Structure 1
């Protein structure tokens, strides 16, 4: 049973389907297109879905943006990508879908974590498609080693209560800084999303492929990270340097008292910061 907030937003959304492998990408759209206003594309994180942006959609629509949020191929309600099983397999079906839905219209892309890699690859491969790129907690900058955050396996456990304990642990270890942020809603969103993750064993996050892609990205690139992001604890200066190596990088903004899932944990501060960046790209 979805939370009341998921049900409310889903009822307000327009849904589109575009081809992907043996099925479709499911696109959720809020708000109306406005002349001269670039549509906003939100790309969720690994083991996620559109609900990673649950606390951001209203603010962005209220600010006058039309918001497009797909379930990325292999996650949520979308089909597996036709080729490959990591972030580099997703730009092609996403671009095809955007062409079907928006024609040649460029978008501002905001990518969270795994979705940050997807956004970077999309801007690299299809420069005319992305007017501006905002990275949110993105890995693959050559700094995040495997086992930087040790998560606990849960699929083998037969007892739902034991599984829930592991999900709570994993949310605390990777996604959210404040223990009080791990609410019943956060647990429900997380569990529903990880159950529909069909792309296991992703490895590109532990490389520097995003850093390399950003060398070929020409649109303005911004970044918003939680100051307490578990992937970058004690490495914020190195993170700044890695981002500044990109030729079109503009700025990094850190949100205090926020972990990796910054747009959920500190939604008000994140929404304000994002809207300021989007105004700068307009």
Structure 2
């Protein structure tokens, strides 16, 4: 499965369709319906949780590279993508339990895995880590909020009531404001992913971001913890180091990393550097 360059010559819909066609799709119970999971590759499981208002497509530029080395497991988190809404919950913990149970059903109880979560997915990953036993080998948090620190307000444009070029312009504005450090990196594939994710998003996760929910949860993790940011992540800039300090207050041995020049969606904007950093962290901390 070849890596995809930033500016892929194929139509973005064809790129996503080919990636989806290469996956094995599995469903597990979720609320009144089911949760959709996709798996690529084989070997030791590496589970990827996407961000808020997202889907498995947030990892489109990472799956091909990572699946060369690992069994890559990507859910559509509850209430997002093709997954049903979870039962009502006041905190992320019950949602994390639902996801963890689904994962155990797919991999088999006790199967060891590594977990990487982006943004809202990082929050859920922290809550999974708080609940998990020895089956969770490591957790990597990417672009994480909910560490008890204030973040800059990012004004986003609503897109649900607009169409055509106005809708594309709104997507581009939102990606430039929140997800990318350099608007020139917003390519047709990123816009197609944003459109697909927005159409399917129902679960609202932004209310958790300014809490201490992740910090409190990951304090209970019993596995190695890592925290990565793009250097110009809109939710952390210009105080990325304060977020590392907040994590080390509860996980003193945590591994931290910054990817220069990248924004919040670092795994897409700086995919090559992100893939290399994640694989290197797993090799050095876990030995795989």
The TM-score, its normalising length taken from structure 1, stands at 0.92
Cα separation, partners in 2 of 1:27 and 1:221, compared to 1, 3 Å: same
| Corresponding position of 1:73 | 78
Q: Distance in 2 between matches of 1:159 and 1:102?
A: 41
Per the TM alignment, residue 27 of structure 1 is displaced from its structure 2 partner at its CA by: 0.7
1:227 alignment partner in structure 2: 231
Report the CA distance between 1:89 and its aligned residue.
Answer: 3.5
Give matches, 1:30-179, under 5 Å: 30-33=40-43, 38-62=44-68, 64-84=69-89, 87-103=92-108, 104-145=110-151, 148-155=153-160, 157-179=161-183
Secondary structure (helix, strand or coil) at the match of 1:203 reads helix
Match of 1:245 in 2: 249
Out of 6, 9, 15, which is 1:5 matched to?
Answer: 15
Aligned CA distance change for structure 1 residues 108 and 248 (closer, same or farther; 3 Å): farther
Structure 2 unaligned blocks of 5 or more: 1-10
Equivalent residue number for residue 27 of structure 1: 37
Paired residues of 1:176 and 1:182 also in contact (CA < 8 A) = yes
Offset of residue 15 of structure 1: 0.8
Which residue is equivalent to 2:269?
Answer: 265
Give the alignment partner of residue 216 of structure 2, picking from 212, 220, 244. 212
| Offset at residue 248 of structure 1 (A) | 5.5
Structure 1 residues not aligned, in runs of 5+: none
1:34-70 Cα shifts (integer Å, max 9, x gaps): xxxx3100000001100100011111111x2111000
Describe the shift of the 1:159–1:32 C-alpha distance in structure 2 as closer, same or farther (beyond 3 A). Answer: closer
Q: Which moved more, 1:231-240 or 1:51-60?
A: 231-240
Deviates more, 1:206-215 or 1:253-262: 206-215
CA contact (8 A) 1:50 1:70 kept: yes
The alpha carbon displacement at 1:8 in A equals 1.5
Q: Distance in 2 between matches of 1:88 and 1:265?
A: 30
C-alpha change, 1:144 and 1:49, in structure 2 (3 Å) is farther
User: Hey, what's the Cα distance between the residues in 2 that align with 1:96 and 1:267?
Assistant: 30
For these two proteins, the number of residue pairs brought into alignment is 275
Distance 1:80 1:265 in 2: 29
Shift of 1:154: 2.4
The runs of at least 4 aligned residues of structure 1 exceeding 4 Å deviation read: none
Contact 1:44 1:50 in 2 (8 A): yes
Deviation string for 1:120-177 (max 9, x for gaps)? Answer: 00010123332100001011011244x621212222x344332222211110000011
Alpha-carbon shift at residue 201 of structure 1 (Å) = 5.9
